[in-house]
């Protein structure tokens, strides 16, 4: 089945996700990543439908060099009552100069009569005319049969006639679309098998995730004979999204043995997912199969004990196959095995020091009882582990005091925070003031200002995420607060935690740990 198509529609269908807006430059960058992954087809968008897609195809001709993928343009069949050779949007598909053109056509009788407002016969004529015209121009033509599964259950004969018409007119593939995303795997498998046996056409699958079954439905379709799979990276798409093409491809290759992507390319799946997430500015989902940060994360002590013996006992694949890695989470559920595995992961061998191991376990459990959490704050745990192992706290400066002032005089709904820090570093006392749009931002600025000449490496650090959790909410404004801060230096990302009676103090603790950890990993000694 090496000829099974892997067809990506992130740039078109994925871009319909709420809050996701791609420029032409974004699309070019994503297309380059998709090509490196080894996907067979990249659907670029709808030429002439909007300025961004029109610009993308114009620039793609000059700027985009594809090594494994083929670029496809997307559009509709001609208008009712017209001729494909004279239809402006059909001609725009030719002007895009892509080797493949994917057409969308109605296959649900009510969509034909009520939405398209034409006759069933004219809809078939539109398909036949447009497919044959584009094929005669030397284009490979794929057809997306919109709302196919719902249409099949309403009027099987008409849905099948759409597939036959497209195939006989020259469509290389007819993709059956679960446009509303309401199907379940057993339904998809039965319908695809019937359509394949009845029409003999080459079939594809385009699944949406409204039942949470988009990937399962795609796999079911392939099992039933589909040889063309459409989806989007990270499952982007309108409503609940499309089939996640990374998960689908990994399932088909690693579980069912299909030869889709070179193993060395599949091992870059995590990089692909995160690289495209950076372009879309949508944070990667930690629980995403295969490539999520939590996909191979183990928390319970029982799991950790087994993992010490054989990682495969609690992992369905070797994480390296998709570029991921096993992680051991540290929490109040953690036993000695969890801590030992996490230490090994961070470069500390605790197996020969049972006393140290016992101290770390006890300290973790004590802190978690107070509201700390380390399963999402590896950096803070490593600092704790280092402290227990060395017997001393890593200090890049000595804190004297800090304070926050909030001034609301600048406007009725505006306020400015001012932070002053007093500390000792590199042999002298330092006092600095910083302003920000909130107390944490002001503290960040003041701390950087105070340490700028002592630790210029801090200029590379950027706070990328800030999360707050109220722990004992029944105490109202007197509740304990937990803060998680994520920091990046453009090469690495780390998360630290702080717990205190108020949000500002908790933020200060997490911020200090963040700076300390970043400097430690940069190889900087305290000055």
The predicted pLDDT at position 505 comes to 92
The C-alpha atoms of residue 450 and residue 422 are separated, in whole angstroms, by 8
pLDDT over 80 (residue 331)? no
Say yes or no to pLDDT of 481 above 90. Answer: no
Please say whether the beta carbons of 207 and 1 come within 8 A: no
- Distance separating alpha carbons of residues 407 and 418, to the nearest angstrom: 8
Torsion of CA 31, 36, 42, 48, to 10 degrees: 20
Rounded to the nearest 5°, which phi and psi values hold at 110? -70, -30
Q: Which two tokens stand for residue 192?
A: 């695809």
Q: Which residues pair with 145 in a beta bridge?
A: 105, 176
Can you spell out the DSSP letters for 351-378?
TT-HHHHHHHHHHHHHHHHTT---TT-H
Q: Which helix (H) or strand (E) holds 211?
A: none
> Is the torsion defined by CA of 122, 126, 127, 131 positive or negative?
positive
3-state SS class at 178: strand
Q: Which of 88-97, 275-284, 326-335 has the lowest mean pLDDT?
A: 326-335
**Which contiguous run of DSSP H or E holds residue 126?**
helix 120-136
Please name the residue that has the structure tokens 């700028």: 452
Give the pairing type, strands 462-470 and 481-488: antiparallel
Nearest to 378 by CA among 348, 342, 325, 324: 342
Tell me if 404 sits within 8 A of 442, measured CB to CB. yes
> Which is more confident, 501 or 156?
156
Residue with tokens 């001729």: 83
- Give Rg (Cα) of the chain: 28
Q: To the nearest whole percent, how much of the chain has pLDDT over 70?
A: 92
C-beta neighbour count of 465 within 10 angstroms: 12
pLDDT in tens, 282-322: 878 888 999 987 888 776 555 555 655 676 777 899 998 99
For the cut 60, the answer to whether the pLDDT of residue 59 exceeds it is yes
- Angle separating helix axes 120-136 and 88-95, nearest 10 degrees: 30
Q: Are strands 203-207 and 173-178 parallel, antiparallel or unpaired?
A: parallel
Q: Are strands 203-207 and 228-231 parallel, antiparallel or unpaired?
A: parallel
Half-sphere exposure of residue 470, counting CA atoms within 13 Å on the CB side?
8
- The first and second tokens of residue 181, run together, are 């995303």
The domain spans of the chain are 5-280, 297-390, 398-521
Listing DSSP states for 300-351 in one string gives SHHHHHHHHH-GGGG-SS-GGGGT---EE--STT--HHHHHHHHHHTT---T
Band the pLDDT of 121: cuts 50, 70, 90: very high
* 503-521 vs 439-451: helix crossing angle, rounded to 10: 40
CATH topology of domain 398-521: Double Stranded RNA Binding Domain (3.30.160)
Strand intervals (E) in 121-183? 140-146, 173-178
66 contacts: CB under 8 Å, gap ≥ 6: 31, 35, 42
**Has residue 430 got a pLDDT over 90?**
yes
What average pLDDT does the chain have? 89
Residue 32 clears pLDDT 80, i.e. is over it: yes
- Cβ neighbour number for residue 274 with a 10 Å cutoff: 17
114: Cβ contacts below 8 Å, ≥ 6 apart: none
Contact indicator for 195, 156 with CB cutoff of 8 Å: no
Q: What are the pLDDT digits (tens) for 159-197?
A: 999 999 999 999 999 999 999 999 999 999 999 999 999
Identify the three-state secondary structure at position 16.
helix
How far apart CA 48 and CA 58 sit, in angstroms, is 11
Distance CA(56)–CA(26), nearest Å, equals 9
What does the alpha-carbon distance between residue 385 and residue 357 come to, in Å, rounded to a whole number? 9
Predicted pLDDT at 472: 64
Query: Residue range 113-128: average pLDDT?
Result: 96
Label residue 5 exposed, middle or buried (CB < 10 Å: 0-12, 13-18, 19+): buried
pLDDT in tens, 339-370: 777 777 777 788 778 888 888 878 877 887 78
Q: Is 5-280 a CATH 3.40.50.2300 domain? A: no
The count of other CB atoms within 10 Å of the CB of residue 88 is: 11
474 has a pLDDT exceeding 80: no
By mean pLDDT, which of 14-28, 59-73, 323-337, 458-472 is the weakest? Answer: 323-337
Neighbour-count burial of 126, counting CB atoms closer than 10 A to its CB (0-12 exposed, 13-18 middle, 19+ buried): buried
CA atoms of 279 and 301, how far apart (whole Å): 37
């Amino acid at each position: 089945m090496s000829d099974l198509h892997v067809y990506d529609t992130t740039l078109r269908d994925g871009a319909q996700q709420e809050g996701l807006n791609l420029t032409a430059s974004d699309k070019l960058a994503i297309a380059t990543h998709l090509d490196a992954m080894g996907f067979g087809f990249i659907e670029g968008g709808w030429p002439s439908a909007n300025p961004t897609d029109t610009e993308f195809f114009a620039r793609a001709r000059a700027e985009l060099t594809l090594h494994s993928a083929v670029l496809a343009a997307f559009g509709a069949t001609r208008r009712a009552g017209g001729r494909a050779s004279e239809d402006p949007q059909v001609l725009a598909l030719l002007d895009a100069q892509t080797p493949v053109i994917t057409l969308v056509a109605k296959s649900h009788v009510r969509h034909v009569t009520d939405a398209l407002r034409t006759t069933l016969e004219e809809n078939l004529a539109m398909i036949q005319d447009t497919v044959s015209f584009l094929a005669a121009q030397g284009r490979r033509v794929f057809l997306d049969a919109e709302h196919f599964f719902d249409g099949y259950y309403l009027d099987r004969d008409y849905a099948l006639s759409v597939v036959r018409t497209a195939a006989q007119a020259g469509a290389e593939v007819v993709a059956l679309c679960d446009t509303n995303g309401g199907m379940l795997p057993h339904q998809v498998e039965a319908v695809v098998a019937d359509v394949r046996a009845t029409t003999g056409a080459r079939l594809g699958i385009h699944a949406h995730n409204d039942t949470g079954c988009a990937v399962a439905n795609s796999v079911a379709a392939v099992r039933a004979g589909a040889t063309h799979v459409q989806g989007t990276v990270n499952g982007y798409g309108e409503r609940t999204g499309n089939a996640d093409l990374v998960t689908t491809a990994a399932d088909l290759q690693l579980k069912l043995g299909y030869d889709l992507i070179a193993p060395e390319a599949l091992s870059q799946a995590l990089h692909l997912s995160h690289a495209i997430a950076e372009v879309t500015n949508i944070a990667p989902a930690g629980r995403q199969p295969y490539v999520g940060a939590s996909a191979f994360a183990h928390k319970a002590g029982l799991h950790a004990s087994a993992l010490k013996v054989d990682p495969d006992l609690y992992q369905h694949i070797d994480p390296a196959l998709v570029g991921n890695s096993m992680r051991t989470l540290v929490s109040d559920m953690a036993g000695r095995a969890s801590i030992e595995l996490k230490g090994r992961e961070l470069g500390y061998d605790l197996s020969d020091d049972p006393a140290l191991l016992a101290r770390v376990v006890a300290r973790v459990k004590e802190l978690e009882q107070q509201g700390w959490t380390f399963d999402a704050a590896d950096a803070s745990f490593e600092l704790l582990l280092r402290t227990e192992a060395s017997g001393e706290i890593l200090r890049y400066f000595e804190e004297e005091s800090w304070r926050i002032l909030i001034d609301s005089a600048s406007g009725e709904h505006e306020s400015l925070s001012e932070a002053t820090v007093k500390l000792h570093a590199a042999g002298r006392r330092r006092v600095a003031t910083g302003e920000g749009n909130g107390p944490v931002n002001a503290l960040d600025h003041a701390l950087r200002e105070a340490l700028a000449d002592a630790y210029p490496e801090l200029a590379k650090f950027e706070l990328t995420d800030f999360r707050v959790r109220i722990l004992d909410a029944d105490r109202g404004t007197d509740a304990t607060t937990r803060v998680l801060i994520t920091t990046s230096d453009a090469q690495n990302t780390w998360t630290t935690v702080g717990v205190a009676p108020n949000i500002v103090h908790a933020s200060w603790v997490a911020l200090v740990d963040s700076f300390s950890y970043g400097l430690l990993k940069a190889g900087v000694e305290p000055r």
